[in-house]
Each structure stands twice: as structure tokens, then as C-alpha cells.
Amino acid sequence: MSEDAKETVGFIGLGNMGGPVARLIQKAGFPMVVYDLRREAMDPFVGHGAHAAGSPAEVARTADVTFTAVPMPRDVEAVAVGPQGILEGIRENGIYVDISTSSPTLLQRLEPRFREKGAWVLDAPVGAGQPPMADPGIHEVMVGGPYAIFERVKPVFAAYGDQIIYAGELGSGAVCKLVHQMVGFCVTQAIAEGLTLGAKAGVAPVIVWEAIRRGLVGRMHFLHDSVPRTVFTGSYEPNSFPLTLLRKDIGLATQLGRDVGVPLPVANLVEQIAVAGINRGLGGGAGYTATFQLQEEAAGTSLRVDGVDPDRAARYIGTYPDVELSGNGELVGPVLPAGKGGA
């Protein structure tokens, strides 16, 4: 797609998420046709040259690439294949892209109906972009679907994506987004437990917060360094902190919770996982990665990955949070080679 011949972008759903994304697409110079149940949501786009459509089908008839950003999976299905839906209007070689957070199986189930018309489908859910975010429309974009179609739409993704990840076949983007949300909420709960435990044990919350964020946990050492260096390679040694000692520390923390009356549901569950690891014979192994071994066995899958540079991945870790506002140091080039998740 050349700069002087941009494809027409259709956008359905101009709410809290879709609106800022669509605005950045329009700002990048793409001709647009928009649709929302609320006329007032379309007015700012029309004021800058977009065409207001009367239905999702009209959007798809007019656009080369049609985006949806709607709240629930049932809304995605209704807009995609319901009466006056995208399927009704989409042209041959047209592309339908859903950026909502939805089930990975939904678009997989609907895709054959689009292929019958010679059209294509991508799932491309979004997550908040890297801080500091200058614009609420800037996002991480996780894309699933045929790679050639991803490449065709990539200039549009670049209008609002500060990180664009090609995840694999259709539905892979949704899997990545759901995992991201699950991990994020679990981490948030663990932080909430830690802060309330520290506060009720008599330490100022701001001090507990500083202790967490300035250590290995706050810099996400386990995610950015330990995973590529040990989990992806299957090399769980050298061991600098055995599971037996980590289980002891977690046990002391959960006992403190009982002493001061703080419920710690995640911490107590993790303590039991540590006990299971010790009973499994992993007590002398690396404490912070033993849980990956247990989870691989329980899930019946492997986390071995080739081609990830652990030193480059670790550059996301910020040692001085007051100076490195983004916390990502200098990430030079992609961590993954092209075709393995890098874009």
C-alpha cells in the first residue's frame, strides 16, 4: 500500500477504545467510513472528512479494511454476521479486523463464511501501549490471521500501534490478549495482598511499594530475564536461590498474614504450589522457575523456544525508575526474529 494510495478504512464502534484508535487512523491520512449507534460519536470523524454509514454492511461495502471495536463477543457476532452486518456488505478481497477482546474461537467459527465471499479475517485485540503514553489511542496490537493479510493491514496498525506483534494463525491474537489480561489481574491481586499485608503489619504503604518496585519484582526480572534465559532454554540452573528457601519465605509471609488478620488467597495458593514442587523433588532447584516446570507438566506442554536473545530481552528492565520513565532502557530491534512473533 503506497503512501499516495491508502486503502479506505471502515471503523465500527467509536466508544472509549474504538474512538481514540479510529482518530489516530484518520490522523494518519486514511480515508474513512464510520458507523456507531450514536450519531454524536460519528460527528467528529465526519467533520474531518469521514463518511458516516447507515449500517455495518454499508461500511464493508465502502471500505477495503473494516475494523470493529465492540464490547462483548455477542456484539462482535451480531455486527459481523447479523442482519445488515459486515458479511452482507464485504467485497471480494476485503478484510475484516476485530480489535475487541473476544474468544479466539469466535472468529475461527465465522471465518469460513467470509472466505466463501473471497474476504479475509484478522483478530487484532489491543493492550495499553508502552508508558509514557502521550495518546489514549496508542496500543500494543496482537494480530492473528494469514501473514500476507497482516502485512497488507500493517500500515493501518502502525497508525495506532506502538508495538505490533504477529501472533500466528487466526485466534492467536485473542489468545495473547486473554493471557495478558489474566496475568495482569493475577499480578495486581498479588500486589494488593502485599501492600495490605505490609500496611497492617505496621509499614507505611509507600515504603512497601518502593521496596517492591525497586527490586526484582518491580523490574519484572522474572519475565524479561528469567523466562528467556532459563524457561525457554530448559536450563533451570545455575541455582542461586533454591525453592526450599523461597517456600520458607512465602510461609513466613502467609503466617504474618494470619498473625495480623490479612487474607492472602493468592499467596496461600502459591505456597501450596511451592510445597508440591518440593515434594516433586525440585526443592534444591531454582526457586523462581520451579513453578514453570510444574506448570508445564500439569498442562502437558513445553515452553522451549529458539532464537530469543536473553540479553536483548533483559533491556526492558529499568534499574533507575526515577530516570527511565518508560522502564525499557534502549531496546534496539526486535527480541524475536521476523516470523517468530516479531514484526
Residues with catalytic roles: 177
Cβ atoms < 10 Å from Cβ of 186: 11
CA angle in degrees (0–180, nearest 5) for 157-139-211:
150
CA-to-CA separations, 38 to 19, 44, 79, 123, 156, in angstroms, rounded: 12, 12, 15, 25, 24
Task: Please name the residues in contact with 251: beta carbons below 8 A apart, sequence gap of 6 or more.
Answer: 271
Say if CB 134 and CB 326 are below 8 A apart: no
**What distance in Å separates the CA atoms of residue 138 and residue 19, rounded to the nearest whole number?**
11
SS3 343: coil
Nearest to 209 by CA among 194, 223, 219, 222: 194
Determine whether 311 is exposed, middle or buried from the number of CB atoms within 10 Å of its CB (0-12, 13-18, 19+). Answer: exposed
DSSP annotation of 5 reads S
Give the chain's largest Cα–Cα span. Answer: 68
CA angle in degrees (0–180, nearest 5) for 35-40-44:
80
DSSP annotation of 338 reads B
Nearest to 157 by CA among 244, 201, 97: 97
Cell of 228: 528467556
Say if CB 12 and CB 68 are below 8 A apart: yes
In residues, how long is the chain?
A: 343
